[in-house]
């Protein structure tokens, strides 16, 4: 029996050993969505910035309305009106009230707000029909985030809710790991761009890998430059890799990594120091490669080399290249989920299986029937890829499996 190759985990370790988070850059918070901040972000100002009204009503001293009730209302003179955005903070004289709007600064000396609904909404005097305790309907300065406290923790992937918080505490810019630049290099002289006149190229097939892998890289948060298809000439490939390395933090190649006469990637790179080509115990996607090329200034640019069969190329990208992109961006490398099997799934004794599957109910998936290694139709119909590690007996219905969401 042929050696199935190294494990998926071992090859992933090899790939991740080639990458490190990109050096942080400072960007406006409006450009930071989806990026990771490498360090804690402190609040320059408190949130709220000052004590303000949480409701429309009247600012009072709680002690002045402690006995208020519908049968025994308290009537107070109204000293004036405070609106949101008023620069001056008035002072409340005991035994009076200020009409106040939501978000307005609470007058000095007031410690509570009585909502309009508990009053007669008077303008000269106000009848108050209910007592309020101190601090009721008042948002205190710094009660959400105090000045100098951590607003967003380091390692956070900044979503809209984080950006809103940063804006609320007065943060205009933030340091983040930039989006990785990924070069996709497709090889194979049999490939033609999808809009080519294939009738004039009877021995060619449309190149779907450049489209799929570029889209997958963008979905992983990368900026993408595509190259190729590169003919089966080692020197042409090396020239293309040199060009790609100048504009990329990671190069992903596809095709030319097996044992055929025209496997150009393997032929061009296998004798270079630090490159590895061989078998990984996974189906589809057994032939794989990884290493690094040198760009201007000695910068080492990692290269992840994937097989050329479209389904194997895509599933291999999800297993190996996507984690590298995430690591460059400062994220956790693996973005996996879990689901329960609707029906049994066969297990290979010596290799991981990557199988297209579809949801049949929330949290429950069923493998799609067909030739999983080559069918792009099945891949397009799938909701997830099942990642089934080597084992013995089939996984039964109801078993929990790792999934790569599509």
The predicted model gives 360-365 an average pLDDT of 97
pLDDT at 372 over 80: no
% of the chain surpassing 70 pLDDT: 96
The CATH architecture that domain 8-23+179-328 belongs to is 3-Layer(aba) Sandwich (3.40)
Residue-wise pLDDT for 111-166, tens only, equals: 999 999 999 999 999 999 999 999 999 999 999 999 999 999 999 999 999 999 99
Binning pLDDT at 50, 70 and 90, where does residue 392 land?
Answer: confident
pLDDT at 85 over 70: yes
Nearest to 400 by CA among 364, 368, 372: 364
Rounded distance between C-alpha atoms, residue 58 and residue 332, angstroms: 50
Binning pLDDT at 50, 70 and 90, where does residue 1 land?
Answer: low
Binning pLDDT at 50, 70 and 90, where does residue 57 land?
Answer: very high
The predicted model gives 375-401 an average pLDDT of 94
Binning pLDDT at 50, 70 and 90, where does residue 399 land?
Answer: very high
Residue-wise pLDDT for 196-252, tens only, equals: 666 666 667 888 999 999 999 999 999 999 997 898 899 999 999 999 999 999 999
CATH 3.90.105 segments of the chain: 26-46+150-176
pLDDT of residue 2: 67
Nearest to 406 by CA among 352, 345, 357: 357
Q: Name residues whose C-beta falls within 8 Å of residue 106's C-beta, 6 or more positions apart in sequence.
A: 50, 51, 52, 53, 59, 82, 89, 100, 113, 138
Rounded distance between C-alpha atoms, residue 239 and residue 269, angstroms: 12
Domain 52-139 class, CATH top level: mainly beta
Q: Are 72 and 88 in contact (CB under 8 A)?
A: no
Instruction: Mark 18-52 as b/e (b = at least 16 C-beta within 10 Å).
Output: bbebbebeeeebeebeebbbbeebebebbbbeebb
Nearest to 299 by CA among 356, 262, 245: 245
Strand ordering across the sheet containing 250-254? 223-230, 181-187, 250-254, 300-306, 287-294, 276-279
CATH 2.170.190.11 segments of the chain: 52-139
Q: Name residues whose C-beta falls within 8 Å of residue 77's C-beta, 6 or more positions apart in sequence.
A: 95, 96, 97, 124, 125
The predicted model gives 30-43 an average pLDDT of 97
pLDDT of residue 261: 59
Token pair belonging to 93:
């004289």
Rounded distance between C-alpha atoms, residue 325 and residue 184, angstroms: 12
pLDDT of residue 87: 86
CATH of domain 26-46+150-176: 3.90.105
Q: Per DSSP, what are the bridge partners of residue 367?
A: 357
Asked whether the CA dihedral 361, 363, 367, 372 is positive or negative, the reply is positive
Rounded distance between C-alpha atoms, residue 186 and residue 209, angstroms: 7
| Domain 337-405 superfamily per CATH | MoeA, C-terminal, domain IV (2.40.340.10)
């Amino acid at each position: 029996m042929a050696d199935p190759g190294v494990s998926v985990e071992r090859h992933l370790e090899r790939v991740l050993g080639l990458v490190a988070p990109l050096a942080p850059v400072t960007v406006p918070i409006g450009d930071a969505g989806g990026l990771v901040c490498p360090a804690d972000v402190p609040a320059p100002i408190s949130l709220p910035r000052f004590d303000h009204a949480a409701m429309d009503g009247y600012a009072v001293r709680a002690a002045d309305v402690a006995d208020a009730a519908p049968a025994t209302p308290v009537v107070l003179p109204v000293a004036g009106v405070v609106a949101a955005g008023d620069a001056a903070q008035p002072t409340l004289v005991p035994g009076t009230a200020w009409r106040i709007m939501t978000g307005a600064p609470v007058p000095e000396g007031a410690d509570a707000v009585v909502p309009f609904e508990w009053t007669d909404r008077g303008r000269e005097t106000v009848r108050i029909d209910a007592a309020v305790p101190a601090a009721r309907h008042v948002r205190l300065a710094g009660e959400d985030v105090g000045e100098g406290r951590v607003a967003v923790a380091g390692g956070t992937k900044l979503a809209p809710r984080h950006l809103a918080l940063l804006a609320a505490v007065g943060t205009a810019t933030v340091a983040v790991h930039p989006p990785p630049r990924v070069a996709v290099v497709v090889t194979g002289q049999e490939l033609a761009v999808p809009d080519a006149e294939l009738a004039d190229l009877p021995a060619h097939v449309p190149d779907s890998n450049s489209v799929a892998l570029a889209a997958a890289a963008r979905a992983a948060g990368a900026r993408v430059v595509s190259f190729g298809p590169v003919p089966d000439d080692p020197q042409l490939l090396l020239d293309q890799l040199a060009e790609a390395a100048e504009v990329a933090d990671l190069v992903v190649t596809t095709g030319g990594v097996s044992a055929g006469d025209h496997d150009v990637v393997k032929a061009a790179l296998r004798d270079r120091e630090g490159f590895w080509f061989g078998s990984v115990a996974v189906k589809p996607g057994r032939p794989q490669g990884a290493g690094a090329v040198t760009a201007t200034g000695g910068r080492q640019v990692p290269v992840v080399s994937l097989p050329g069969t479209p389904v194997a190329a895509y599933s291999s990208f999800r297993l190996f290249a996507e984690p590298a992109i995430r690591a460059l961006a400062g994220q956790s490398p693996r973005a996996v989920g879990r689901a329960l099997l609707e029906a049994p799934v066969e297990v290979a004794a010596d290799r991981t299986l990557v199988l297209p599957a579809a949801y049949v109910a929330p949290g429950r998936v069923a493998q799609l029937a067909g030739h999983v290694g080559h069918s792009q139709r099945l891949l397009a119909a799938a909701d997830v890829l099942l990642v089934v590690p080597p084992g013995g007996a089939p996984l039964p219905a109801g078993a929990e499996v790792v999934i790569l969401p599509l």
